[in-house]
Structure formats: structure tokens, C-alpha cells
Amino acid sequence: MRIHLTETVPRGASARVALLHEGRDPAAGARASVRGALRQAVRSARFRGEDKEVATAGAWTLVGLGRSPASPGRLRAALRRALKDVRKARRTALVLDSGLTADAVRALLPQVAGSDYRFERYKTRSKAKPGKAADREPSEPVVDVVTPPDVDARALAGAADRARAVAQASAWARDLGNTPGNDLGPREFAREAGALSKRRGLRFQALDRPAIEREKMGGLLGVNAGSARPPVFLIGEYAPKGARGTAVLVGKGITFDSGGISLKPAASMGEMKYDMMGAATVFACLAAARDLRLPVRVVALAPVTENMPGGNATRPGDILRMRNGKTVEVDNTDAEGRLILGDALSYAENFRPDVLIDYATLTGAVLIALGSECAGLMSSDERLARELTEAGEATGERVWRLPLWSEYRDNLKSEWADMRNTGGRSAGTINAGVFLNEFVPPGVAWAHVDIAGVAHFEREQGGWPAGATGFGVALTIEFLERRFGAPGSARSARA
């Protein structure tokens, strides 16, 4: 979806939509150029602007935001309602009222740009080929965003291009997440990531099993042991001239998670095709950083495997030796993500990162703790945690920090190895983060983002559609720009 920011409704708009806050006169906050027409539509439809309210009047579709200011979730949900019935229009005018600030408009733009996303390649009426993730180019439909009265459309012109880059990268990640495990194993994931990297002119390398064995990645090899499909370890790199620092992004890539010997319940197992969304996110971030020409070196690392209960599968009680030499007693084979991430975090030392961030659908416990409104955040660095939190608030991809206190390390004690891979039912998300911290290179600012509660939904929720969400791409790009500067910025990476 292409975006054009404007202060008037273009004559060529075949559909007209307005997002309006609740009030006695919902149209009062719109620009003067459209206020009269909107007031007439509001009166005709007896529209009040209440949350979830939708009304039509003539050429207008009116969508309520509720009381001002609307939360990110309310904005996402309202936008989906607004554009749902006009998705086939060649040109749509989207009018926003004064309850939205420039920052709120900027955060909403990637959602507008991605509003035409569909995953229909397995529908018999679709011509898309199964197993091929689309690298989406701007589609023909255009949305003319009529900015609020106090927001300069010209000042946000660059934000439209930025939003499209983020939306396209997110769509690639969503395509991979929505692809079922029979068509997306480790080899197929590597093929898609390699093709994306080639199109963007990025460095790419895929380590096969012998190379993984040479790296002594015992966690990745242990998780893969029960699968007939061999693992891969993927490395992507965007390295612009004059880079102001290095950010290494690590993503969990379990293309299907049965739980291994510690088998998952059948009722929820079908969702486990999404367990590779961390890996998809980091390569999507890599592509977006390249498209936006961010002045920072970005490295994406993705350990990719299935977790299956085959005859050679790792058993509860087995002990694995990780890449950094530490030994781990496998208490539960369904706590596999932290095993492959531990090896990847250790491998990140090769790139001497200024910041190291991992993304993973790691624990069901984070969904119990935080629900579907935000991701869990754990970090050893106060500045990094603060900047990620602020970037989340700016983009609507929120994170909430959980503690990383040393006292939790006792939960991982093992009689037979350096640690166990689980710490009991209590503090499940925190125990996982504490485990990962054992593999972070010394002195590196690190953060762990648990996206298990926001990476996908079985039905529309919190303004997100059913399926993979692409959560994390907008958040990460916002963080990278704030930390290392936007293209053309003179701001120092260490300011």
C-alpha cells in the first residue's frame, strides 16, 4: 500500500474514511478543508465517535476512536475497521482528527502501509505458489492520509517512505510465519533468507551441520537431534560505509516445535509453526535497515531447526555442552529455544557488537504475565532497556521490563551440570532470560525480547489480524534510528 500525506482530500479518492474521537461534535478536530463535509456525514449517520463504532453516510465511512487519546491498540483496531470495507478501492482518503499527534500519526503509518496484507497462497482461488515468501513491492492502491490540523504533512513526508519499508519487511516475516511447517523447514527458511539478502545486496552465509559441529554448538545440535531435517545457522550482514556502531540481532528459529520428548498438548501444537518468528524478525529488520540506509552495521543471526521427538531426540536428563563451554542439563526438551539462542548469543562475540538484542517466542509464561498487549523485556543494560521501552511506546510495539536479578540464578542449579534449562513453574519467563544471560559475551549491552504473546494470534486481537504480526520490526528500526541516528543525521552513535 502506497501512502501519500496531504492536507486536503484529493479529488481522485474513490473511498473516504475518517478516524474520529468521541465527542459532541466528532468532526470538530478535522481540518477545515473537510470539516463541513464530515459534519454533514456525522449528522446524517448520528455518529458519536464511540470506540468500535462504524457508520456510513454517502461517500464517508466513519470510525470511532473513543475518548482521546486513543491507545496504540485502539488505533490499530480502528484502522483495520476503517480500511476493511474499502480494501479494493484504488485510492482512499483517510482523515485523522486533532486527537492524534505527529508521533501518533508516524506510528500509525506502518499499519496503514501494511493494511493490504493478505496470506492466501493456500486458498485454491489464489495464484500464489506455496512455499514462496513474497518480497512485497508497493502495491497499486494508494491511501491519502489527511493529517490532523496541527500536523504538517510535509514534515512527515519521509515517514511515509519509512513506513512502507517497515511494512514490506514485516510482510516478508509474516509470510514466513504463516507458512506451515511442511513447506518451511530449516532449509526452506535458509533459502528465503538468502534470497532476501541477495535482493538487498546483503552479505549472507548459511552454516550447515558440519560447520555447526565445528563451532561446537551443542545446544542447536541437541535440539535438532530428533528431526530428520538438518539444522542451519544463518548469518546476514548490512555494513554501510562509516557505520556508527554494530547492532547484532539474534532470532529464535524453530520452524516447528513439537516439544520434543516433552511433547506439547495436541490442542495448541498447530500454532508452533510460528516458533520461528524471532528469526524472521531479525532478517526483516536487516532488510529494512538496508532499505532505509541506516548508518549502523546490522548483523542478523538465526539458529534454525525443528524440535521433534524422533528416535535420536535429546532426552530429559541429557547433558549438552554449549558453544561457550558451559554444560546444560536438559530438564525439559520443550525449553529448547534458550538452548539454540545460547549458542547464537555466544557466536555474536565474533562481531564485537555495541548492542546485542535477541527476539524469541520463548515462553508461554510471558503470555500469562503480560497478555497480548506487549512483549517481555529483560536487559543487563539500563540505557538499552530504556531506549527499547521508549521506542516501543513510539511505535505501538510495546515492551515491559522484567527483572534480571542474580537471585534467580539459583533456580537453574543442577546437581550434574553447570545449569538446568528450566527453573520450575515460578518466574518462567525470568528464568529463561537469566539462562540466556549466561551466554552473552562479557561487557556487551544485551536485551532479550520475549515475543511469545504478540508474534501471532489465532484470531484478531488488540488491533492485530489473525496470523503472524511482524511485531518487532517497527520497534527495532525506531530503536536503531534513536541510538545510531537516521540517514543523513550527524548524531553520534555514542551520544
pLDDT (0 to 100) of residue 82? 85
Domain match, 139 and 205 both: no
- Chain centre distance of CA 32: 37
Task: Kindly report, residue by residue over 71-119, the tens digit of the pLDDT.
Answer: 888 888 898 888 876 667 788 999 999 989 999 999 999 999 998 888 9
Give me the percent of the chain exceeding a pLDDT of 90: 80
pLDDT (0 to 100) of residue 367? 95
Domain match, 325 and 191 both: yes
| Catalytic-residue membership of 338 | yes
pLDDT for residue 432 is more than 80: yes
**Catalytic residue from among 74, 264, 420, 483:** 264
Per-residue exposure over 303-324, b if at least 16 CB sit within 10 Å of its own CB, e if not: bbbbbbbeeebbeeebbbbbbb
Domain match, 220 and 111 both: no
Domain match, 223 and 263 both: yes
pLDDT (0 to 100) of residue 134? 47
The count of other CB atoms within 10 Å of the CB of residue 483 is: 23
Residue 180 belongs to a domain? yes
Domain that holds residue 408: 172-484
Residue 182 belongs to a domain? yes
**Catalytic residue from among 244, 338, 398, 420:** 338
d(CA 108, CA 395) in angstroms, rounded, equals: 8
Task: Kindly report, residue by residue over 210-236, the tens digit of the pLDDT.
Answer: 999 999 999 999 999 999 999 999 999
Domain match, 88 and 206 both: no
Domain match, 355 and 473 both: yes
Domain match, 176 and 270 both: yes
Contact 171/135 with Cβ under 8 angstroms?
Answer: no
Q: Residue 492 — pLDDT band, cuts 50, 70, 90?
A: very low
Q: Return the CATH number at 133.
A: 3.40.220.10
Q: Residue 465 — pLDDT band, cuts 50, 70, 90?
A: confident
| Catalytic-residue membership of 264 | yes
Domain match, 430 and 305 both: yes
d(CA 391, CA 478) in angstroms, rounded, equals: 6
